[in-house]
Chains A and B, each alone.
Chain A
Amino acid sequence: MAANLPTHAQVQGGIGVTEPGHDVHEHHDEHHEQSFLQKYIFSTDHKVIAKQFLITGIFWAILGGTLSSLFRLQLGWPESTLEWLSPFLGKWIEAGKLNPEFYLALVTMHGTIMVFFVLTAGLSGTFSNFLIPLQIGARDMASGFMNMLSYWFFFLSSVVMFLSLFLETGPAAAGWTIYPPLSALPQAIPGSGMGMTMWLVSMALFIVSQLLGGVNYITTVINLRTQGMSMSKLPLTIWSFFLTAVLGLLSFPVLFSAALLLIFDRSFGTSFFLSDIYIAGQALPNTGGSPILFQHLFWFLGHPEVYIVIMPAMGMVSEIMATNARKPIFGYRAMIGSLLGISLLSFVVWAHHMFVTGMNPFLGSVFMFLTLIIAVPSAVKTFNWLATLWRGNIRFTTAMLFSIGFVSLFIAGGLTGIVLGNAALDIQMHNTYFVVAHFHLVMGSSAFFGLWAGVYHWFPKMFGRMMDEKLGYVHFWLTFLGVYLVFLPMHYVGIAGFPRRYYSWTGFDTFSQFANLNKFISVAAILAFFAQFVFIFNFFYSIFRGRRASENPWRSTTLEWTTPVVPGHGNWPGAIPAVHRWPYDYSKPGAADDFIPQHVPYSQTQSSNLPYEREME
């Protein structure tokens, strides 16, 4: 394959005037002996930092999945003994029963870990770091040092959150949305004590990490693109990482504001969110606070956050689909436009999480209207993905399967979003499993599928080896079926009124008919969780023993595949290639090959040039 690619010298043409000196510098860098600490721990190389984010993310994902298996055990078999877990959970198993407070803590930590530590830091942290410099043709991020700090703030934040799991009073237990007054009053539940304090400290560190990373991603995309890489030639991955970082930049500071006020309420006696509370028969002195104010501040981050989670997945799926369908992405500009539309709308829909707070119905209908508009850019994206597949020469690589799975889950979960976006329906279903089913499909599982697709697709560039395809298929089918078997029945029990957040439902005859379905969901969830170990084995085994990769194993067009099999520090040993065309020249009529990389000038592809491209020859 490499023989098809013109060498860098040919491609560079005349633009390398100032490059030679630089190359010498880079060359020198490559042979510079770095200590283990510099190379793998306190590295400023974006590729190493990406792997650090990925492996920390995998650790968190296993933990988050373990927690969900624990509470699914409780929900599936509420009457049976969990004594066998006591060596593992210690005092949280009381007389064979899971401690109800700990159940809340499990749910809270599952949400926090999955949303922030896995699907924000693990997903954006990994792929924004890895792909932005490689795909735009840059040696590294704008500030390697800040990038390193971003990881280490995340690491510190992870340590604090992890340690909070082992507190005597347990970790935070007020839900991942930490609504006050529950989260603000240590005397309310054990989980609002030290666990909540550590949650807030950890999140403050996490926000710092996100901002350090985010400003770097934006600056790099804006300022460090290689010659010819105009914004309209950027791969869709980069557009999605860029807009994700913009969303983070605008919304995470608001979460920080809310967290700081909550810290003041908890520890400094202010009353921002507290008013007229009686607890254990005692009236609290706090007056004048508004708990709803917290929800406004929280969801002003919280809603963009779900797009922070899903947009990188959308970008990677677009890229992987075009590559493996051997077709240009359908509607490149519409894809960018819809990403922009989703980004804009994400800031004006937050109150649809608050329809049940007794908000003014008029305000509710405004937010409902804006929420339903999101269906438009989402549908544009969905139809474009389907149209990209249509009559494509599809290669079912593992990454492609996960990308198609992503679209499937996004549609299945997105449709119920239209249901829940309606205030009248949401008020009926807000506290049922219908909501749980909705967001786990549309944002949880599909973002996970995007993550897996990305790992399978870019693994060769990360580690120079291929992941095993057969194990990949096993992983995909078990996960894909598992996810649907878990969440489809949840829609049903949700519509029937089965309430979420309940530790035990056996006290209500109404819900006893759902005992078998709950057991079914639990079995599916636990099996799907165990299926992930196929991936974990495949991942770590392939790092050391996988089949060796070539430079461009997927025959893809973007710049990262023009680097050596394992790019060194500075990414390109020679000059950085200049870019001449958009990233989706697949199966171009008249072309010698079914893909033309971005750095190939039009003068070398005269047989396939379109009339307007002849002028650029």
Chain B
Amino acid sequence: MIEIENVQKSYNELKVLDDVSLTVQTGEVVSIIGGSGSGKSTLLMCINGLEAIQGGKITVDGVEVHAKGTNINKLRTNIGIVFQQWNAFPHLTVLENVTLAPRKVLGKSKAEAEAIGRKQLEHVGLGDKLNVYPGKLSGGQQQRMAIARALAMSPKYMLFDEVTSALDPQLVGEVLDTMRLLAKEGMTMILVTHEMAFAREVSDRVAFFKAGKMHEIGTPDQIFGNPQRPETAQFLASVL
């Protein structure tokens, strides 16, 4: 369970997250929608401790992310994250990209890690690209590799930060298919997305963010069909 309680985050004067609270249950898929600069991506970075917070707290399975004594590297093995810019490691092959962390962080043997890596890469449809360098892959393939890389750590939670925003339109579908598969398998996911139809389809709940505040949260039918807040209605009218 991920518990976000009254989180405050700012860059100097600029408030990026303003009193955000959200609890994500195990097995749940929560989508966060909203315009750029609404703080949605920042929230994901705060959940795995890549960004500091100035107030409130975030706990993952009872461990407070930003507390002093927390072993952040250990915590991160439980939380996979996939970025908008897929951030493939260009000097490593696809298989090496995926096996690096299982070997160096979880201490698995090369053979063990490669078995995991192969399985995950097949899972995302890259079973035939194991020994290719990421530079030879399309954006969609690199993004699926990044998903496999995160999954190879067997995380309990997956965070997706606008993972299709930097892709050519014809490559979006393959990445969404991979995420759809994960959602079906019961993975706990928080996804920041601009793909409204997809959010509506896979989410258990959808949250709307604007200017660092969570304005509304509810089932997809509630948010998309009958938004309660004028900000939400206005945003949806502008994107749908």
Is B one of A's binding partners?
Answer: no
Q: Which residues of B contact A (CB under 8 A)?
A: none
**Chain A residues close to B by CB (< 8 Å):** none
